[in-house]
Structure 1
Amino acid sequence: MATWSTWLSLIIIKKNGRNGSWTSFRFYQSNFSFFVPADKKQQFDTVKKLLAVATQVIIATDADREGENIARSIIEKARASHKPMQRLWINSLEKQEVQRGFTQLQEGDKYLSLYEEAKARQFGDWLVGMNASRAYSLLLQERGYHKRLVSVVCKHPRFA
């Protein structure tokens, strides 16, 4: 069986949900969870059903830490992380490369650290973005600017 998913199949939230208070700061959040957006639920449910009956999982997302994060976050949300996993690690979609990759599948545990790295970056980005957005909005409100600002983390900054 084979299936697909997209990165935005899961969206991060605080474990206790959203309290809506723009003025309550929590610079440290230790519990995170994910939810499946309504427009992604049908495909997520398909993936979840396939994972439930699978005896093993082959992760075939992009060969990098973000690809590992996409796959393992979905597998974890589907409660299938206990299944044996292998990793298709290829850098090309040429027929010969894909065939070679399937003959040289790697053990899934070999790439677990990439998932952990990506998860740490993801949570860090969320914490910085949420807290910086609140901080800048509140500081500017004190100076008469009454719109909320959104702060984002730039993964690959470019300087002119």
Structure 2
Amino acid sequence: MTTNDAAGFDEFVAARSAALSRTAYLLTGDHHLAQDLVQSALLQAVKHWRRIHTSPEAYVRRAMYHQNISWWRRRRFTETGLGSYDDAGPASDPDLRLTLDQALARLTPKQRTVLVLRFYEDLTEVETARALGLSTSTVKSTTRQSLARLRTLAPELAELIGADR
């Protein structure tokens, strides 16, 4: 890696690590696993920096999604509760955030991942399917099942989830 490549990578990490960490936390539900997930994805990125330097964020996010899937396919570890995360969206109310965090923590890792990509990362169904290596119909059905489960787990989130989704 040349000095220019190293500087570009360092700039990318400095500029985007907070956003990547938030997404990793939402995917894993655990601060330590989230840090590991980001580090793993960045390690892959630095190895391929010359090839990906024009659009590294897409590469790193995709690496995070795939690594997370690999983890939850390999280990069916016990779900842990979500703590807090930086969000200026509708869940900025502490009570609502706590309710949402607790409900998300009770979803399967696959359900949580699909919802994070669809509604936090704002990916389309097709983009989510591509990122996770699933069919679009699987993403649609998982989204529907996940939202139904959230409605059951936390009926007070109905306004946030929406009745039409």
TM-score (norm 1): 0.27
- Name the larger-Rg structure: 1
Q: Which has the higher helix share?
A: 2
TM-score (norm 2): 0.26
